[in-house]
Amino acid sequence: MEISKLEKEMENNLSALGNLVFMQHKGEEGLEEEVDRLLRSTGELETEIAEMHEQIVRLNPKPPTCPSCQTQLPYVAKFCYICGAKIINDNPAE
Ligand SMILES: [Zn+2]
CA 57 distance to own-chain centroid: 14
DSSP code of residue 79:
B
In the reported structure, the alpha carbon of residue 86 is separated from the centroid of ligand 1 by a whole-number distance in angstroms of: 8
In the reported structure, the alpha carbon of residue 82 is separated from the centroid of ligand 1 by a whole-number distance in angstroms of: 5
Residue 91 has pLDDT above 70, yes or no: no
- Residue 84 region by backbone torsions, left for phi larger than 0, else alpha for psi between -120 and 50, else beta: left
Greater confidence (3 vs 44) lies with 44
Ion ligand 1 neighbours, Cβ < 5 Å: 66, 68-69, 71, 80, 82-83, 85
In the reported structure, the alpha carbon of residue 42 is separated from the centroid of ligand 1 by a whole-number distance in angstroms of: 38
| pLDDT of 94 | 44
Greater confidence (22 vs 89) lies with 22
For residue range 59-90, list pLDDT tens digits in order.
Answer: 866 788 899 999 998 878 889 999 999 987 66
- Distance from C-alpha of 51 to C-alpha of 29, rounded to nearest angstrom: 36
What ranges do the domains of the chain cover?
Answer: 2-59, 62-94
For residue range 32-66, list pLDDT tens digits in order.
Answer: 999 999 999 999 999 999 999 888 888 866 788 89
